[in-house]
Amino acid sequence: MRNPVQDYLEQIVERCGDAGGEVASYIPELAAADPDTFALCLATVDGQVYEVGQAGHRFTIQSISKPFTYALGLHDQGLDAVARKVDVEPSGDAFNEISLAPGTGRPRNPMINAGAITAASLVAGSDGEERFARALEWFGAFAGRDLDVDEAVFSSELASAHRNRAIAHMLREFGILEGDPEPVLEQYVRQCSIAVDTRDLAMMAATLANGGRQPRTGREVLEPALVEHLLAVMTTCGMYDAAGDWVSAVGMPAKSGVSGGIIGVLPGQVGVAVFSPRLDAHGNSARGVTIFERMSRDMEMHLMHVSRGSRNAVRSSYSLATARSTTRRQGADEEVLDRVADRAWVYELHGDLLFAGAEAIVRSVVRDEPELAVLDFSHVNEVAEVSRLTLLALRDRLRADGSEGVVVDPGGVVPDPDAGTDSASPRFTDLPSAIEWCERALIRAHCGPRPEPDPVEDHPLMRDLEEPAAHAVRSAMTHRVVPAGEVVLQAGGPFAGVHLIVRGLAEAQGPGPDGEPVTLVSMGPGTSFGELALGTDDEQRTTIRAVEELELLVLSADDLARIGEDDPALGVQVWRAVARDGYRVADRALRRSAVRVG
């Protein structure tokens, strides 16, 4: 089944077409870039990546390197030591402004060139080569793979780095850099020339979204406290002199680069990367900014959006093979469910469903490919609009594949826009009712042509018997009618034989946590009760009550004993059949009560 999240991202790209702009021209190699190259990648905090466009196209990281080098400096030197060299205040100036903060003499922040060159000097190492080698490995740890340098871009950029050279020498003049500034400048230019693709950038952003732990390798690259500091600086300074507009319109920690890349971080949820080489007047990807603005609106990604979002929206998922209803059905129907119950899946959800939660749900359903998918919203507080639309798209995709989505929504947190029409989803106020509905739907879909079952002759107890033994059982059975509401068997009583239901509905009750009786199982025609007492020292452990008037055929304990006395061989066969039937009932009861872990 195709993933609706993928469909949504492709629709965003179609709606956010050419936004104008020009490729960077001050670096000759960048000026030669194809302006129409495009890619969008979204990576979740558990490592799932969605791609649109040329996600494998390689380009140089440029200024998107700045937050990661700054992070390495923080990791190596600590916050206080780094703060003595570079401030964290928004500059309001262009990224390549030749200036330092009045009074302190420090670069205003590590996201402009002056601060980034300073941050490069704070990476631990004996010289520029060693510092760069550590930075390259560090970048690769965020991306989850080894990276390398585009030597052609490096040479082109270093040869034309006159403004950055001036900045480096200014930093040396004011004592921010110590020693010869040229090795630091070369280190900085080389880090900007690291080759990445949009997938790499999305994973690097997702590592920050995941609190500094790389989603696929599991390595903690950066301490969570430093991640918080870094994301704060990216929020206020990452988009240069357009940072205010970005925070207002998009509201995500972000960083751009003049090659056309932008990364955005939604903490706890996703990392996003866009590549489109045409730049706006601020040096940011024009189409990339447009796409981020659209995604932020649609997906409620703004950091000021108030929500109690949970990182893992799926608290549990399981198939009906391990979570059947409490209804005990006649043999043929039970056999159908035994065969196809794993085609229906339950997804118990919780928390507030933001985009990341909806994506996790969609991915689980796409992975399981269920014929029936039950989405249980009983423990969900709020559903974001993007999540509602995503889940509706999931329902449509299920139906296109011949499947169905079933909703449990006692609180009405996800209204169905098709309510009252034939297109509405099956909806329930409790999970047991939804599971019962799914079982009936599976039986209808998979039973195949068959004659109307006989509630007695098609019972497993009778089917297991050869004709002489079956005749003996039929002859011994007595007919009994029990009015609705009356107790058939009382808990604590002795084994009273096997009771086959011909007509009506019964339920087995036991004490609940508060001592009040609770229904353990419901039973209809073609099922039986009473045989489990054989496995509990001949003591009836549950109370059996008639929900509707019951018509029963009863094979009592005395009848069983008499069959064995009259013909021991037949008696052995009957007792074996009763034991097998008791085992079937016990096995199904065990599976119903099993702990369900998603």
Q: What structural domains does the chain harbor?
A: 4-299 (3.40.710.10), 314-446 (3.30.750.24), 460-593 (2.60.120.10)
Q: Per DSSP, what are the bridge partners of residue 255?
A: 263
Is the pLDDT assigned to residue 309 strictly greater than 80? no
Residues 461-473: what's their mean pLDDT?
82
Picking from 174-178, 206-210, 222-226, 525-529, which range would have the lowest pLDDT averaged per residue? 525-529
Q: Which residues contact 539 (CB under 8 A, 6 or more apart)?
A: 492, 493, 494, 495, 533
136 pLDDT band, cuts 50/70/90, is: very high
Please report, as a single letter, which amino acid is at residue 502.
V
Residues 64-84: what's their mean pLDDT?
96
Residues 259-274: what's their mean pLDDT?
94
595 pLDDT band, cuts 50/70/90, is: very low
Q: What is the C-alpha separation between 111 and 95, in angstroms, rounded? A: 8
Q: What is the C-alpha separation between 343 and 406, in angstroms, rounded? A: 13
**323 burial type by CB count under 10 A (0-12 exposed, 13-18 middle, 19+ buried):** buried
pLDDT of residue 59: 96
Taken in order 56, 57, 61, 67, the sign of the CA dihedral is negative
DSSP secondary structure of 432-447:
HHHHHHHHHHHHHHHS
Q: What is the C-alpha separation between 501 and 436, in angstroms, rounded? A: 20
Is the pLDDT assigned to residue 391 strictly greater than 90? yes
Is the pLDDT assigned to residue 588 strictly greater than 60? no
Q: Per DSSP, what are the bridge partners of residue 346?
A: 318, 374
pLDDT of residue 328: 66
SS3 assignment, position 495:
coil
Q: What is the C-alpha separation between 474 and 575, in angstroms, rounded? A: 14
What pLDDT digit, counting tens, does each position of 406-463 carry?
A: 999 988 889 989 988 888 899 988 888 889 899 989 998 998 766 666 777 777 678 7
Q: b/e string for 449-461 if b means 16 or more Cβ within 10 A? A: eeeebebbebbbb
Q: Which residues are catalytic?
A: 63, 66, 188, 240, 258
Residues 86-109: what's their mean pLDDT?
75
Residues 225-247: what's their mean pLDDT?
89
Q: What is the C-alpha separation between 73 and 362, in angstroms, rounded? A: 39
pLDDT of residue 93: 63
pLDDT of residue 83: 94
Is the pLDDT assigned to residue 87 strictly greater than 80? yes
Highest mean pLDDT among 328-332, 341-345, 434-438, 580-584 belongs to 341-345
Residues 206-232: what's their mean pLDDT?
96
**With pLDDT > 90 as the criterion, what percentage of the chain qualifies?**
49
**502 burial type by CB count under 10 A (0-12 exposed, 13-18 middle, 19+ buried):** middle
Is the pLDDT assigned to residue 471 strictly greater than 80? yes
Q: Angle at the Cα of 411 (from 410 to 417), degrees rounded to 5?
A: 90
pLDDT of residue 26: 74
Distance separating the N- and C-terminal Cα atoms of the chain: 21
403 pLDDT band, cuts 50/70/90, is: very high
Between these two residues, 244 and 213, which has the higher pLDDT value?
213
465 pLDDT band, cuts 50/70/90, is: confident
pLDDT of residue 308: 43
**In whole numbers, what is the pLDDT of the chain averaged over residues?**
87
Task: Yes or no: say if 212 and 206 are a contact pair by the CB < 8 Å rule.
Answer: no
525 pLDDT band, cuts 50/70/90, is: confident
Is the pLDDT assigned to residue 58 strictly greater than 90? yes
Residues 40-64: what's their mean pLDDT?
95
What pLDDT digit, counting tens, does each position of 529-584 carry?
A: 888 887 778 889 899 999 899 999 999 989 888 888 888 888 888 888 877 766 66
pLDDT of residue 296: 87
